[in-house]
Structure 1
Amino acid sequence: MKRNRFLILILMFILLLIIQKWLELNKKNFKLKRPIIYTEQSIYFSNQLNNSLLPKCDTYPKNLIGNKTNIFKNVSDLIIPFSTNLNSNLTEDALKFFSNIDSGGQYEPKHCLANSRVGIIVPYRDREENLKIFLYHMHPLLQRQEIKYTIFVVEQINSDKFNKGKLMNSAFVEVINKTKDFDCVVFHDVDLLPTDDLNLYSCPEKRPKHLSILVGKTDWRKYYPILVGGVLIFRLENFIKINGYSNRFWGWGAEDDDMYNRLQNSGVGFDRPVNNTVYEMLDHKPWQKNTNRVKVLKEGLAKFREEGLNTINYKLKGIIKCPLFTHVLMDIGQENDTNKV
């Protein structure tokens, strides 16, 4: 019995010696983990790391309110007063109301990871009253949808007739395609306001979405089935595939009909959501009509691959980060520059 105990003690002693020797041999491999200290240079990386740990935002966030959104059609009715010039600083009340908006009209939800990165292009000239109401209405609505977005107001600064298609093409090339910061682009008339935040501005999975189907009480599917104007959302690759908008429509009319032809002839097509697509139109002075629009429309049926994004010419005159939007100033030339293909 005593002999067995003695043998056990010897074995334990030998085992302790073996463990001690192993620890000495491997001592250099044992290091305490130091806490990560973020320097100024690593802040960007730390933000990326934190974002990756956030949950994904819901497709239909809980704070959506449906068609209960108030629609204001006059600047005098707005609860929050704007400064006279939208490029200048906001009033104190407006700063509080838009406190979540970053400079340049950018927003990203802080509590979840947005499913869509959306660039919103608003073609613009001489519609300041409409623009104020548009910004007042759209920012809260888009924030409730929990998407990451930036509003770009692209202004035609030369005095020739308004060319919406050319403005939208130039803005797409300059601020959407070059930056690579967006998954999709929304082309949005400044005088149209969605009445329902369930009308989602998130990126479509595949085909473009036409959102402004019902304006007021008029269902344009019945009276104008080829309409794709007003509010149209593209994934970037699809907008490139159809070669963008035509650059040849100076003045009001038919550039959206040409877009319908491009969508159909390219095979890209488009979808229209069934519900929640009611818009209100703001009052404004009509643009000068394009008396040549029917002829240009017919000529464009077979030429969409030859004219559009691949023939756009413009001069960027400035990009200004205003409090509620990024102001893009474009010189898009004269009518005679683009009427020939």
Structure 2
Amino acid sequence: MGQCRRLHNIRKSTVSILVLILLLPYLRHVINEGRAKLAGIAKDHPRQLVTAPAIHVKHSFEKEQATRNDNNVTVNLCPIVPPNLIGAFFVNMEPESFEEIQKRHPYIKPGGRFQPLDCKSRHRVAIIVPFRDRESHLKILLKNLLPMLERQQLDYGIYVVEMAMPTTFNRAVLMNIGYKEALKDYDFQCFIFHDVDHIPENDLNLYNCQRSPSHLAVSVDKNNYKLPYPGAFGGVVALTKEHVIKVNGWSNMYFGWGCEDDDLYQRIHQNGLKVSRGPAEIGRYKMVKHLRDKTNQKNKDRANLLKGMKTRMRSDGLNSLKYDVLKREYRPLFAYIFVRIPVEGDTKSHH
């Protein structure tokens, strides 16, 4: 028993050290930013006290959390290093009903909203999942992802975005729509754009945002846990609200499979940003096996679209996004957004 306990303590210490190493750039940024803000306050208002920002209530969930904060139940910030991380974990690739998953996560609110119960999260994160007729994949993702997000002590919401058929699937448009619709609910500051078939294997792969856009799905089993090419930026990526605005979101032009993530990667570099990646042994994912469906065949024009990215990116993206929300449901484990994307010649109203 003593030996088992010592091994358990060693494992926890190792996990904590790895997390600290991963968080060092973020810690430097937080410290420097805090010093700059305090210096500015002291210079301009030497007698002014620093007070907490007002809480703007949009939904009942935020109101409930605000009340708890006012009653001094949850006022302390969560630790910089989440204390319950376990590192690599067993990934269960068997689907389970939404009802069974919900039973294990009673503190998740409708719309897939969660906040830590015993501290105030440091990260407001929206997870955007483009979706098309893959309910079993979504069940596998949620089954494995939800416990990880809770251990990471995130203030998060999950948005599953699906487009009305028949039309050719457009993953990037759904990313843009998810971003805009999530901001209607809450002041999210970090956006994880997450393919439904990518299942994380390690909770040290933190679902928060850094100073640079982050590629989280660094090593996927389908690719023998190797980056397929240096500019790969697919599967799961993290951008701040500021990053998304700066690059004008994703291109809306990629109907069918291929190159929309390469387009985003180039937008990032064209705007003076760099992509960051964590260690391959931490950014590991299993991919749910499936065949490419008929609505997502290879885009034959994808190479030409990518070549024209530089001249098009200022007018193709968030500022040219058009869609109609046909259905918006706050389901127990996620918010479901069902949209219609106008096609060429369509005269119906849209956003």
User: Which TM-score tier does this pair reach, normalised by the shorter chain?
Assistant: 0.7 to 0.9
Partner of 1:10: none
Distance (whole Å) between structure 2 residues aligned to residue 317 and residue 59 of structure 1: 40
Q: Would you say 1:70 and 2:90 are equivalent positions?
A: yes
Mean CA deviation greater in 266-275 or 285-294: 266-275
TM-score by length of 2: 0.75
Name the SS of the counterpart of 1:136 in structure 2.
helix
Cα distance, 1:334 vs structure 2: 2.4
Measured at CA, do residues 43 and 115 of structure 1 come closer, stay the same or move farther in structure 2, by a change above 3 Å?
closer
Distance (whole Å) between structure 2 residues aligned to residue 256 and residue 166 of structure 1: 12
Partner of 2:139: 132
TM-score by length of 1: 0.77
Partner of 1:325: 334
Report the residue type matching 1:301 in the other structure: K
Partner of 1:61: 82
Report the residue type matching 2:104 in the other structure: F
Name the SS of the counterpart of 1:262 in structure 2.
helix
Report the residue type matching 1:193 in the other structure: I
Mean CA deviation greater in 271-280 or 43-52: 43-52
Partner of 2:325: 316
Equivalent residues of 2:216, 2:237 under 8 A apart: yes
Distance (whole Å) between structure 2 residues aligned to residue 323 and residue 45 of structure 1: 21
Equivalent residues of 2:218, 2:283 under 8 A apart: yes
Partner of 1:182: 188
Partner of 1:100: 107
Report the residue type matching 2:133 in the other structure: D
Partner of 1:207: 212
Equivalent residues of 2:102, 2:333 under 8 A apart: no
Measured at CA, do residues 195 and 47 of structure 1 come closer, stay the same or move farther in structure 2, by a change above 3 Å?
same
Mean CA deviation greater in 94-103 or 162-171: 94-103
From 222, 230, 235, the counterpart of 2:240? 235
Report the residue type matching 1:320 in the other structure: E
Cα distance, 1:335 vs structure 2: 6.2
Mean CA deviation greater in 327-336 or 46-55: 46-55
Name the SS of the counterpart of 2:276 in structure 1.
coil
Q: Structure 2: any 5+ residue segments left out of the alignment?
A: 1-62, 347-351
Equivalent residues of 2:69, 2:75 under 8 A apart: no
Measured at CA, do residues 142 and 302 of structure 1 come closer, stay the same or move farther in structure 2, by a change above 3 Å?
same
Q: Deviations over 1:25-52 (max 9, x none)?
A: xxxxxxxxxxxxxxxxx97753332468
**Aligned positions, number:** 279
Q: Would you say 1:159 and 2:179 are equivalent positions?
A: no
Cα distance, 1:297 vs structure 2: 1.1
Cα distance, 1:220 vs structure 2: 4.1
Cα distance, 1:270 vs structure 2: 1.9
**Is the radius of gyration larger for structure 1 or structure 2?**
1
Partner of 1:4: none
Distance (whole Å) between structure 1 residues aligned to residue 291 and residue 345 of structure 2: 25
Name the SS of the counterpart of 1:240 in structure 2.
helix
Partner of 2:305: 296
Distance (whole Å) between structure 2 residues aligned to residue 322 and residue 209 of structure 1: 29
Mean CA deviation greater in 55-64 or 258-267: 55-64
Give the % identical residues.
38
Report the residue type matching 1:199 in the other structure: N
Mean CA deviation greater in 146-155 or 261-270: 261-270
From 105, 109, 116, the counterpart of 2:116? 109
Name the SS of the counterpart of 2:130 in structure 1.
strand
Equivalent residues of 2:220, 2:226 under 8 A apart: yes
Partner of 1:34: none
Q: Deviations over 1:83-138 (max 9, x none)?
A: xxx5xxx2xx4443121211111111010110001000000001111011011111
Distance (whole Å) between structure 2 residues aligned to residue 154 and residue 332 of structure 1: 12
